[in-house]
């Protein structure tokens, strides 16, 4: 698979401008969008030498699910904009790479149809003003085989995107837009609950019978509150730079969230991960896994399911290579000593 910059450039050539802008853009002045990538690059590595790295094991497990690597697929909306097979292709490619898909509530295909094509998967949840709609969605996901819920906590309102020219500019059929939300209008779909609280974690767990991870955590105090209310995991995320512009980069927020978790639950991270070196940096800071958003969409746009598979496998191989060069053959051995002290 192409390096990230070339992959993105090819996707820009293939996709309609409005679609590329929708996927690639961030909010505000896109300061957070840029800093997500730059923050990983600011972390310098301290490789060990004379270590036997003839065999580097990338496998891991999350909430009891064995995976080929600590690289997962982040929830992103409306995959039919990138490829005609939409999330069905994403699910197949993820399954073939022996990874895990986090399916967006705003997928272009029905939960049940994607589940039939997927390997292990989690379901991403927005809490809508209509709590009954949210309850129905998570119960459908549980019935279809989701192994966990991922509550997005940083979107009481939708961020104002710099690049996005509005839904009317997107070539998205109405049935795709409302694939999992029959009977609603576009306006109603955007009305997420501004009164969401930590109590929604336990409500979702009770409604679905599934463990609930919380996505969008950037602070230690929020991390502790999430755990107090029963979160089964934390995802350090600023929504790919698409919500509050100027928010801290995820690489910078990760250490305090890991420390606050005290090893009680897995901590994951997304935002700006573009190479195996970035994955190594995230693991060194205490993350159990990373999630990929835009790289997966670009792979999907280029080659459908096979593009998704190639992106995930290429990053797995690049992670193994980075770990070998740093003298780390075992995933469990990767720790903060891999990183140089920050100046």
CA distance 322 to 168: 43
CA distance 343 to 337: 15
> Token pair for residue 106?
């705003």
Torsion 333-335-339-341 (CA) sign: negative
> Token pair for residue 245?
């512009």
User: b/e for 256-273, b at 16 or more Cβ within 10 A?
Assistant: bbbebbeeebbbbbbbbb
CA distance 335 to 127: 35
CA angle, 279 then 15 then 249, to 5°: 30
Tokens 């390096």 appear where? 3
Q: Is 200 exposed, middle or buried (0-12, 13-18, 19+ CB in 10 A)?
A: buried
In this structure, are strands 233-236 and 65-67 parallel, antiparallel, or unpaired? unpaired
Q: Pick from 311, 248, 303, 302: which is nearest to 279 by CA?
A: 311
66 DSSP β-pair partners: 61
Cα of 85 vs its chain's centroid, Å: 20
Name residues whose C-beta falls within 8 Å of residue 108's C-beta, 6 or more positions apart in sequence: 77, 78, 79, 80, 81, 86, 87, 172, 176, 177, 179
Active-site residue identified among 79, 228, 229, 239: 239
Phi, psi of 62 (to 5 degrees): -135, 125
CA distance 105 to 121: 13
Tokens 């399911």 appear where? 305
79 included as an active-site residue: no
Catalytic machinery residues = 239
């Amino acid at each position: 698979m192409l390096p990230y910059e070339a992959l993105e450039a090819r996707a820009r050539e293939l996709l309609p401008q409005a679609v590329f802008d929708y996927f690639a853009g961030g909010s505000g002045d896109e300061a957070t969008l840029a800093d997500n990538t730059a923050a990983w690059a600011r972390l310098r590595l301290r490789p060990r030498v004379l270590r036997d790295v003839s065999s580097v094991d990338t496998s891991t497990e999350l909430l009891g699910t064995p995976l080929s690597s600590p690289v997962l697929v982040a929830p992103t909306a409306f995959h039919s904009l990138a490829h005609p097979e939409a999330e069905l292709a994403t699910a197949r490619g993820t399954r073939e790479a022996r990874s895990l898909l986090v399916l967006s509530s705003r997928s272009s295909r029905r939960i049940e149809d994607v589940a039939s094509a997927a390997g292990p998967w989690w379901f991403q949840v927005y809490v809508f003003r209509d709590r009954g709609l949210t309850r129905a969605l998570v119960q459908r996901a549980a019935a279809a085989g989701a192994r966990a819920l991922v509550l997005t906590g940083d979107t009481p309102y939708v961020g104002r995107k710099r690049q996005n020219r509005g839904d009317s500019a997107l070539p998205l059929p109405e049935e795709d837009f409302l694939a999992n939300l029959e009977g609603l209008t576009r306006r109603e779909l955007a009305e997420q609950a501004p009164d969401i609280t930590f109590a929604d974690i336990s409500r979702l767990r009770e409604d679905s019978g599934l463990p609930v991870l919380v996505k969008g955590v950037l602070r230690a105090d929020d991390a502790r509150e999430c755990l107090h209310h029963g979160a089964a995991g934390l995802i350090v995320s600023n929504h790919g730079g698409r919500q509050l512009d100027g928010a801290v980069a995820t690489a910078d927020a990760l250490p305090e969230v890991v420390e606050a978790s005290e090893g009680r639950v897995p901590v994951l991270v997304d935002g700006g991960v573009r190479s195996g070196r970035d994955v190594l940096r995230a693991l060194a800071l205490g993350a159990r896994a990373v999630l990929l958003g835009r790289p997966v969409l670009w792979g999907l746009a280029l080659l459908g399911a096979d593009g998704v598979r190639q992106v995930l496998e290429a990053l797995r191989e690049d992670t193994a290579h980075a770990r070998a060069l740093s003298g780390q053959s075992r995933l469990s051995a990767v720790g903060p000593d891999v990183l140089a002290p920050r100046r």
